[in-house]
Structure formats: C-alpha cells, structure tokens
Amino acid sequence: MSEIEASAAVPVADLPSGDPIPPPSAAAALEPITSSSSVDKPKKPSPAALTKALYASDAFLARLNKCLSTPTGIDTVLLLLCYTSKFSASILGVLSRSILQRSLREWLSVIAGSVPAGATTAVVVDPKTAAAVAPAAAKALVHAKRLNALSTLLSEARTMTRLWALVGMYFWGKGVLGKAVAVWRAKRNPSTVSEKEQHQQQSLPTTAETTISLVQFTLCVALQVLENGAYLSSKGVLGWEPARIGKAYLWSARFWAAYVGIEIGRLLALEPKEKRKDESWRGNLAKNLAWAPLTVHWSSEKGMVSEMVVGLLGSIPGLVQMRELWASTA
C-alpha cells in the first residue's frame, strides 16, 4: 500500500454522534461501495451501558453531597472553584488580547509595506478575516468576564461564611490554653502532678509547640476580627471609613502571612521525620507554600503578582483539599 493509500485509510474526523468513523477493511479498500447497506451505522448505547452511567452519576452525586454536608466541605469546594475560575479567566483574557493584538499587527505590517511613502490610504478590513478573528476573541473576553464574576462571587461567599469563624476559634483557643496550662503546671510543680496527669503528660505538646500554637491562634483571631470588620463596613453594617477598611484588609493579610510562615517553619523543624512520608504532611506543606507568596502579595498595597499567578497558586490548596475531601467520602 502506498503512503497516499495508507493515509487515506485513517479517518480524519468523527461522526456527529462522537463515535469514530469505522476504518475500511481490506476488501472495502479494493472494491467500491455499491449500496448504503454496507455502511456501518453508529451503534446506540446498550441498556447495560446506560445503567452503568446512571449508577456512576448517582455515586458521584452521593459523594458530592457528602462533600457539601459540612462547612469545611463547602468552603473547600468554593475555594477550588474560586481560584480555578480566576485562573481560567486570566488565560482566556490573555489569549483573546493576544489574538486581537496579533491581528492588528498583521494588518499594520501589510499596510506599511503596500502603501508608498507620502500616500494617503484608507484601511479596509476583509470581512472574512474579521469574521474569523473577532468573534473568537469576543467570546473569549465574554467568558473571561463571566468567570471573573464567578470568582468574585465565590470569594465573597467564602468571606461571608467566615463571619462566624470566631465561634470555632473560641473552642480552638480553649483547647490551646488548656494544653498550655497543663504544660506550665507540669514544669513548674512536677511533684504536685497526680499519676493520671503524669500519664497524660506523655501526650502533651512541648513548650515550643505550645508557644507556636498560642501565637498562631492569636494571629488567626486578629486577622479574622479585622476581616470581619472590614467586610461588614464595606457593606454598610459598620461605620469604618474606606481608608480604615483598606488598612484592615492589609493587616489581616499580614497576620495571615505570619501564620503561614510559622506553619511552614513548624512543619519543617518540629514535625518528626517519619511524618514527612505521609501524604497529609506533604499536602499541608504544599498548601502553605502556595499560600505564602499570595499572602505577601495581599499584604502589599501595590501587589506583587498578576491575577493569573493568583489563580494558579490559589488553585493548589483547592486541589489538595478537594483531593483529601473526596477521598474521605469514599
């Protein structure tokens, strides 16, 4: 078989149904088709395949429902959608602008090379070329705008759900302070500790771990108070001025950056080497390494990275948390 015949035997497109075009057999390649009955019709999905697809859809929705049944699960889903939509919007925006700029440069180069010096001319755009380029770029810009709006909406939804995060932080702080008092008592008066408490001391954190927990708790409370105040003031609930709102958001991000930096140091310095083999340790480190440049970016008045980088880095914690959440619903 020649190269032309071999390439002709490979289908270059699919059927409208999405099924691949059946390749011709050896006999069909030698003999012309004499009737329409020799053409294979696309097969319809069998009842067994439809049933399998329904079961798969039901299982997927059941696991998704479990993911959305807790506040943490809802926030994880919102986090993933928020930053992946921001990243997608940035990509579409860059692509659409590059298409328009490239088209404009090509037209300008044609005009500059075909018009004599000193001549006056009018720019006439080929309708076919404009029809091929402009709609694609325009659609990309529309989708980018919609994805940006979705990202903004999801970000605000996450901010709203954090308004009552201080309630959970109260119990977090209660536990941290309880452990700190137990560690302090055990070190200050070891003779007064009962046998039961001596047995419990084996599970108590070290002084360094207790100090880090107290500092991280204080940072989280501070950033949450500032974020709540700034958000409620931006909606007219509180009376903070715009300048104060901006400073509150900046300092909230700075406290978050300090928390992330301490957490990275804790994971690398205090966690046992045995734990570094666990997926949970690697996932926690990956999340904080992704948050680190973002928190520094939000801590700066002018910012440091583009929206595309924000979407890309923010998607990493979303993917890690969504993977862990999805695995927990199996």
pLDDT at 169: 93
* Any domain includes 210: yes
Place of tokens 């990243």: 87
| pLDDT band with cut points at 50, 70 and 90 for residue 43 | confident
Mean pLDDT for the chain overall: 80
pLDDT at 14: 43
* Any domain includes 232: yes
pLDDT at 7: 46
* Any domain includes 268: yes
What percent of the chain lies above the pLDDT cut of 90? Answer: 52
Q: 287 pLDDT exceeds 50?
A: yes
* Any domain includes 81: no
* Any domain includes 173: yes
Q: 197 pLDDT exceeds 90?
A: no
* Any domain includes 143: no
Q: 121 pLDDT exceeds 60?
A: no
| pLDDT band with cut points at 50, 70 and 90 for residue 11 | very low
| pLDDT band with cut points at 50, 70 and 90 for residue 323 | very high
Q: Mean per-residue pLDDT for 259-270? A: 92
What values do phi and psi take at 99, rounded to 5?
A: -65, -45
Q: Mean per-residue pLDDT for 272-291? A: 88
Q: 288 pLDDT exceeds 70?
A: yes
Model confidence pLDDT, tens digit, residues 209-234: 899 999 999 999 999 999 999 999 99
The torsion defined by the Cα of 132, 133, 135 and 139, in degrees rounded to 10, comes to 130
Q: 10 pLDDT exceeds 70?
A: no
pLDDT at 9: 47
What values do phi and psi take at 155, rounded to 5?
A: -65, -40
Q: 127 pLDDT exceeds 90?
A: no
* Any domain includes 205: yes
pLDDT at 207: 83
Angle CA(83)–CA(84)–CA(89) in degrees, nearest 5?
95
pLDDT at 16: 38
Q: 151 pLDDT exceeds 80?
A: yes
Place of tokens 């992946």: 84
Model confidence pLDDT, tens digit, residues 76-97: 999 999 999 999 999 998 888 7
Structural domain boundaries enclosing 184 = 158-322
* Any domain includes 197: yes
Count of structural domains within the chain: 1
- State the Cα–Cα distance between residues 79 and 289, nearest whole angstrom: 16
